[in-house]
Amino acid sequence: MTATDIVISPKHQTIHVVTDAASYDRNGVLAGFVPKFYPAPGWPGGIAIRGMSVATPILGYELTNAFATFDDVVECIEIVLPSIVNRWQLTNHIELLLVGFSESRGGPEAYVIETTDQTPIGVPEGTKGEYLPEPFVLQRLPNVIVGPVIPGDIILDAWFEGLSEDDEPAVLQNKLRKVIEMQRHALFDDRIHWIGGYAQHTTITREGITQCLLQRWSEDQIGQLINPAPIDWPKWNVAHGFSPGRRLGAG
């Protein structure tokens, strides 16, 4: 269950993607830390991978070398992706998120495409999210996507006021730092923490791509489950320029 948070800002003509770096087995035991966004400066844009993290450089290389423009990828990915997956024997579940600037439609966009109908790690068996289409069917995403969805009690405890596609870039970066910290501390239906290693922020404009680290979680150790250090949200908020808010249950 990779954290993949995307904000498309038509107002600022900017795309923001935040991903974590944890790679693990199906039980949540850490196997390593890998980047999960593959930039494509020539489009400009790129892909993020959820599921089979080793597929990020493979699919990134294949798609960026096969297509000169983002519009070409959007038009043809449903046709070419099955053959790429078969050639590389990428049999495990992959959720590919595609972002870039469409010249024909005049702005930044985000899409999702799945490679199997398997249930992703961390998602209860027999359930499918709102934006999990059938295999090899490209689906456009809304301008703001937060995945995995953050439980309501953490949103309240962290005193989070939400993301907006119209936020100024510096404000949005700070909010995205808070989003992935909330995702890290969430326990999902399997009672496992899935977000770890470090958080990478990719910013894409028509002029190019920049990347930076938002957070690094040094307590995460390969061979172990992710066990986030306790967090005091009022103190965290003050330290990062947010209103301190209140704790759950406070009057």
From CA 11, how far away is CA 9, in angstroms rounded? Answer: 5
Query: pLDDT tens digits for the chain (251 residues)?
Result: 899 999 999 999 999 999 999 999 989 999 999 999 999 999 999 999 998 888 999 999 999 999 999 999 999 999 999 999 999 999 999 999 999 999 999 999 999 999 998 766 655 555 555 556 799 999 999 999 999 999 999 999 999 999 999 999 999 999 999 999 999 999 976 789 999 999 999 999 999 999 999 999 999 999 999 999 999 999 999 999 998 875 444 33
Q: Which two tokens stand for residue 143?
A: 């301008």
pLDDT value for 133 = 79
pLDDT value for 129 = 55
Q: For residues 108 and 100, is the Cβ–Cβ distance under 8 A?
A: yes
pLDDT value for 26 = 85
**Cis bond leading into 148, ω under 30°?**
yes
Beta strand extents in the chain (DSSP E only) = 4-9, 14-20, 22-24, 30-33, 37-40, 45-51, 94-102, 107-114, 139-140, 144-147, 198-205, 208-216
Q: For residues 70 and 28, is the Cβ–Cβ distance under 8 A?
A: no
From CA 234, how far away is CA 244, in angstroms rounded? Answer: 4
Residue 101's DSSP bridge partners are: 108
Q: For residues 237 and 244, is the Cβ–Cβ distance under 8 A?
A: yes
Domain ranges for the chain: 4-239
CA dihedral 111, 117, 121, 123 (to 10 degrees): 80
From CA 83, how far away is CA 140, in angstroms rounded? Answer: 22
Q: For residues 99 and 124, is the Cβ–Cβ distance under 8 A?
A: no
pLDDT value for 192 = 92
The pTM for the full model equals 0.93
User: Percentage of the chain surpassing pLDDT 90?
Assistant: 84
pLDDT value for 251 = 34
Let me know if domain 4-239 sits in CATH 3.60.20.10.
yes
